A and B are shown apart, each in its own frame.
Chain A
């Protein structure tokens, strides 16, 4: 994030700092998606800093009851926000489940590649859907209970709260591990692979949808923050402004000198800016070299090892994942760079 509130916590005087700590703990343990949490805390710290500057007391700003203040802050939260908050955890859990499931799915894929005839409806693999769902469900239950306990205990001092939080987590994890070790020892009588794969893909689909929604909303907010940041950087007198303007002027001069040398007509500054906008996303060859080469070397190296070990299934899956990741990273950085440049060029145009 461009401007997280955490940087400004140290600007608070002790009185406000303690109050803010409590608010932060409450909001973070409430069931709201992380984006809203960040927004709320940004708002609160802005108000605290303004009130501090004006010399108001904490009680003046918050009122007598800090718990009421906190619960009011978090009162207008939509169901969508709460669902997203719950599902944000599931992404992490699903990634862990992928690891558990992957081993069995690779065995199946490997056998298919080696030519063994497998009927996916009757072949049994180890990870049963029940194991999957119970593990998953219990994890969610623990997180939810933990959050509720934590937010109820905000009335105690912050140190006690911090200590308690770790005890609470330990207290939840311990019984869960006992249950896990007792109930899921005997799962050799697996169930049909198709059902397991289906459940896994449904959950992955849900996680992808959540990720997509979160990414869209974050992008919208980040755009606005980015605009604010660029506007500040482009203020005359700021260092970035001078650098950016100088850079563009130099480029313009170089292009025209080249044109004159080659006997072509000189271009105007407007035409130059239009040209720059068209090429906005392109990065130099150095960038592509530094991203493509190491990643592809890793893929080749890993591929060679897996191939020589005979793990063809894993080879296929990991290579596909790494290549997809590579494409994703390049696309995102292209889009980000293009957006920044377009904004800056638009700003220069508007100044003329």
Chain B
């Protein structure tokens, strides 16, 4: 089974959660994801996610000069983004609970 597919469903929500904590930029987001345990998220996977979130108006971006020189995009979350995030958190909690009861037999069924 494809790891990429599993990741794809979850990644948008996680990136949105990182941005919700405060205004941030690409490299920092990768760092946060790595700290949480996502090992091989590179800019290649991240960039399309950020583009999609921006297109759907869940985040907004501001361009400023980075201390290293080139123009850097700083992302922050919008109101629709916060709503979408809490939506996603709910749905994810439900799905993961159901999946856990099936995948790991020793976990008792938890009536949500």
Chain A residues with a Cβ under 8 A of chain B: 2-3, 5, 7-8, 11, 39-40, 42-47, 49-51, 53, 61-63, 68-70, 72-73, 75-76, 78, 221, 224-225, 228-229, 231-232
Per the bound structure, the CA–CA distance linking A50 and B25 in Å amounts to: 11
Per the bound structure, the CA–CA distance linking A177 and B32 in Å amounts to: 56
Could you tell me if B63 and A225 are in contact, using CB atoms closer than 8 angstroms? yes
Query: Of the candidates A8, A53, A68, which one forms a contact with B70 in the assembled complex, judged by CB atoms under 8 Å apart?
Result: A8
Query: Of the candidates A11, A45, A70, which one forms a contact with B44 in the assembled complex, judged by CB atoms under 8 Å apart?
Result: A70
Could you tell me if A49 and B44 are in contact, using CB atoms closer than 8 angstroms? no
Give A220's nearest chain B residue, CB to CB.
B63
Interface core residue of B27, B40, B45 (most chain A CB under 10 Å)? B27
Given the interface contacts A42-B70, A68-B44, does A47 sit within 8 Å of B65 by beta carbon?
no
Could you tell me if B69 and A49 are in contact, using CB atoms closer than 8 angstroms? yes
Given the interface contacts A43-B26, A63-B40, does A225 sit within 8 Å of B71 by beta carbon?
yes
Chain B residues with a Cβ under 8 A of chain A: 25-27, 30, 40, 42-45, 47-48, 51-52, 55, 62-66, 68-73
Could you tell me if B44 and A3 are in contact, using CB atoms closer than 8 angstroms? no
Given the interface contacts A46-B66, A229-B65, does A76 sit within 8 Å of B48 by beta carbon?
yes
Query: Of the candidates B25, B43, B52, B70, which one forms a contact with A73 in the assembled complex, judged by CB atoms under 8 Å apart?
Result: B43
Could you tell me if B68 and A46 are in contact, using CB atoms closer than 8 angstroms? yes
Q: A43-B73, A69-B44 provided; 17 other pairs, C-beta below 8 A?
A: A3-B69, A8-B69, A40-B47, A43-B26, A46-B68, A49-B70, A62-B42, A62-B43, A62-B44, A63-B42, A72-B47, A73-B44, A73-B48, A76-B48, A78-B55, A224-B64, A231-B64
Contacts of A224 in B (CB 8 A): 62-64
Could you tell me if B66 and A69 are in contact, using CB atoms closer than 8 angstroms? no
Contacts of A42 in B (CB 8 A): 70-72
Could you tell me if A76 and B26 are in contact, using CB atoms closer than 8 angstroms? no
How many whole Å from A65's CB to the nearest CB in chain B?
9
Could you tell me if B47 and A73 are in contact, using CB atoms closer than 8 angstroms? yes
Query: Of the candidates B26, B30, B44, which one forms a contact with A72 in the assembled complex, judged by CB atoms under 8 Å apart?
Result: B44
Could you tell me if A50 and B47 are in contact, using CB atoms closer than 8 angstroms? no
Could you tell me if A46 and B40 are in contact, using CB atoms closer than 8 angstroms? no
The 9 closest A-B pairs by CB, nearest first: A72-B44, A69-B44, A76-B48, A224-B63, A76-B51, A50-B27, A49-B68, A228-B64, A8-B69
Contacts of B55 in A (CB 8 A): 76, 78
Contacts of A40 in B (CB 8 A): 47
Per the bound structure, the CA–CA distance linking A140 and B61 in Å amounts to: 34
Could you tell me if B65 and A72 are in contact, using CB atoms closer than 8 angstroms? no
